[in-house]
Structures are given as C-alpha cells and as structure tokens.
Structure 1
C-alpha cells in the first residue's frame, strides 16, 4: 500500500492480532499510534523505521501534543537532513506498553471496559518489535531500508535484525546493548519500588481517581537519570556548583546544581508519562 502523507500526520491503527508475547500471553487488539514523514515509493523500498527510547515517543520530528515542544530528533529527521524525508518514508511508532496512544496499561481492556492497569501483560523488547512488524504489514512495507534507534530504541533495532533479518537491509544502533547488565536491572528495581512506595500507587488502580503516584514516579525518574551520565560526565556538567546561591543552606533544599537538575527531570517527566 502506497501512502502519501502530510509531514508529521498523527496516525493510529487497531490491529486485531492476537499478538503472541514472549510471556506466553496474547495481546488483542493491538493499538499502535505512529507518525509518518515523507512518501513511500512505488516499490516500498525507501522505508526507514525509527525506534524510540524508553522515554521517547512517536513524535520524532513533529510538535509534541502534550509539551508543545519540537520532536526529539528534529535535527536528524526532515527535508535535507541526515534522515531525509525527501528521499525516504519515515515511520516512528509508539511502542506497545507506552502511554502515547499504543496499547498499554492505561488503554481499555476490552474484556472489562476499564483500563488494563496491572492486568496488562509484561512485555519484552521483542514483543515491541513484533508489534511494529504488524504495523509494517498494515502499511505494505515488506523490507526496511533501515531501522534506526538509540538506547531502548537501539535494543529494538538489534531485535529487528535478529528476528526479521530478511526484512532489514541495515540497522543503525546507537548507545545501546543487546541486554541489560545486573546494574541496569538493579536500577530498574529501585525505580519500580519508588513508584510502588508512593501511597497513591494503590496497586496500580489509580486511574479512576485521576490521582497518580506522581511523587514516586518523579523519584524513579531521578534515579534512572543518574545512569544516563557517567560520574565524569556529572562532574564536568555540574561539579559541586551551587544552584542560585552563594552558600549552602544546611537544609533539604536543592543546594547543588545536580540536585536541582534531578528534581527538574523528575517533575517534568510526570507530565508526560504514566507510572
């Protein structure tokens, strides 16, 4: 199927599935929210799939509807840019399990007509990739010119090459790995426990009250963000410099720039993401 689309046109498709998951469960239906840029050529050979990181979304090169900010990779994707929308048809889908339109804990479970919540199945990177493959089938793309991703997106790119080698001409994997280390797993557990320790967690059943565990989520984001910079990087960026003051307060304010930075990251994160 050829598609001639406007630059950055919001799209969403419901695929009946069911989608087999690594856990043994099956997900149906499968909702996928995605953005496309450029035009698919006659033989569908110019498609590039961009896979987003854990905190990313489908708005790779268009204005984000929640924050109003530019897409997270505007400098890379667009007319005449490294990923050239005048030459290629770009697809970026919100991964399943996320909260920007694709099937996830906040979407409606058709069996109960209420949000999935903790009944939503635990997913793997491979599950996300299999869902993307269903989307490409829907769009009529049999083989990708390239799959590109960084961090968790890079893990998806690795999985694409492993699961569908005949459907991928090339893979661009940035700042990523094939699997998590013990330390990665440990930091994720700290984040989960921070969320679940928030009194507003309520076993994940907080949707009806519209009162999410934002404090726990903010702390989880702060802990995770420390892992995105090395100790050397944090020292170079912040050192022991104070934040908007000449002396320490000897209290629990954010005296240091690095403390203020982490608080900002935590607070801004809860505006976009569901715990």
Structure 2
C-alpha cells in the first residue's frame, strides 16, 4: 500500500506490503467475497502448501471445492497480518529511514491496525462489501473488529474461539508464553 496508515500508536506507517492469497473467483456482482483472518501463528497460506515448510495449509479441511468455504461458490481472501512474518511488512523488513531491519523498532500493531490494513487491501482489490469475515483465535478478534469498525461492509461475522477482550487469566497465559 502506497499511502501511509495512521497506526493506533500514532505512527504514520507506510508504504507497506500486504501478502495475501485468494481462492475461488469473485462473481460479477462482487458479492461473494469472504475474508479469512488467521490466528497468531497463521499466515496467508490457508489452503495451499506453505512455501517454506511444505506443510499443508492450516485450513485445508475448511477451504476448497464443496468445502465449508466452498471455492466454487465464494471468493476467499486470506492476508498475512500487518507486522506478520510471511511477506507482509514486519520487524524483519528494512526500515526505510535507517536502511536496517526494523527489529525492535517496529511500531506496536493493534488488531484495529491489522483490520484497517486489510480494508485497504480489499479496496485495492475492488471489494467494498464482504459476504463474511471468518477467523479463529486472534483471527476471531479481527472478525469482531471488522464487525465493529465496518458494519456496513460485513454481512456476516464468524468469530471462532475468540472474545472481544481477555480475562486476567488469558493475559497471564499470554505473558507466560511470551517469556517462554
């Protein structure tokens, strides 16, 4: 994306790259698009082999002809989140101001920032409205943010295993995971 995105932390971030995969075909009415939002450890390779590990896509049981997310019926878009490590601009990429990798200087990215970047991608693809947004875990948080920020653009929201906010126990578990 060429235009900077004002992040929640106050940084005007850009230009930036969003890596994504699509499955199926967008119909002439542009009414069959579904956005798949990945979890923290996911990426845009929901239904095809991962180019580095060779592992099957993380949602191959859901995505494909005749599947729950039927590629003969729907046009699916799965984008690597802003700050991700699979082609979307993230900490391993070069900071244009320094010529060095962003590393720990990469700005703090929120779920809201991720969703606004996805919205820019969909606008770039010519998609104004989504039939559905679906995702699990951190992807479910993105789904809820989509429904909150862009209710006019989302017909159906399908959050799986996620919540609008974390309990103290969830926060503690995540902190333990970060320190491990």
- Could you say which TM-score interval applies, normalised by the shorter chain? over 0.9
Partners of 2:99 and 2:74 lie apart in 1 by 40
Q: Tell me what 1:248 maps to.
A: none
Structure number having the greater helix percentage: 1
Q: How far did 1:97 drift?
A: 1.1
Note if contact 1:30-1:131 (Cα within 8 Å) is conserved in structure 2.
no
Q: How far did 1:190 drift?
A: 2.9
Q: Tell me what 2:35 maps to.
A: 49
Partners of 2:140 and 2:116 lie apart in 1 by 15
Report the TM-score, using the length of structure 2 for normalisation. Answer: 0.96
SS at match of 2:177: helix
Q: Tell me what 1:64 maps to.
A: 50
Question: Which one of 166, 170, 173 corresponds to residue 152 of structure 2?
Answer: 166
Partners of 1:60 and 1:100 lie apart in 2 by 12
Q: How far did 1:114 drift?
A: 1.4
5+ long unaligned stretches in structure 1: 1-14, 195-219, 221-275
Q: How far did 1:98 drift?
A: 1.2
Question: Which one of 95, 102, 111 corresponds to residue 81 of structure 2?
Answer: 95
Q: How far did 1:131 drift?
A: 0.3
Deviations along 1:91-144, one digit per CA (max 9) or x if unpaired, are 000001110111111111111121111111111111100000000000000000
Q: How far did 1:187 drift?
A: 2.7
Equivalent residue runs for 1:212-227 within 5 Å: 220=180
Deviations along 1:192-222, one digit per CA (max 9) or x if unpaired, are 3x3xxxxxxxxxxxxxxxxxxxxxxxxx3xx
Q: How far did 1:21 drift?
A: 1.1
Report the TM-score, using the length of structure 1 for normalisation. Answer: 0.64
Q: How far did 1:191 drift?
A: 3.4
Q: How far did 1:184 drift?
A: 2.1
Structure 1 runs (4+) greater than 6 angstroms displaced:
none
Question: Which one of 148, 163, 169 corresponds to residue 177 of structure 1?
Answer: 163
SS at match of 1:32: coil
5+ long unaligned stretches in structure 2: none
Q: Which is higher, the Rg of structure 1 or of structure 2?
A: 1
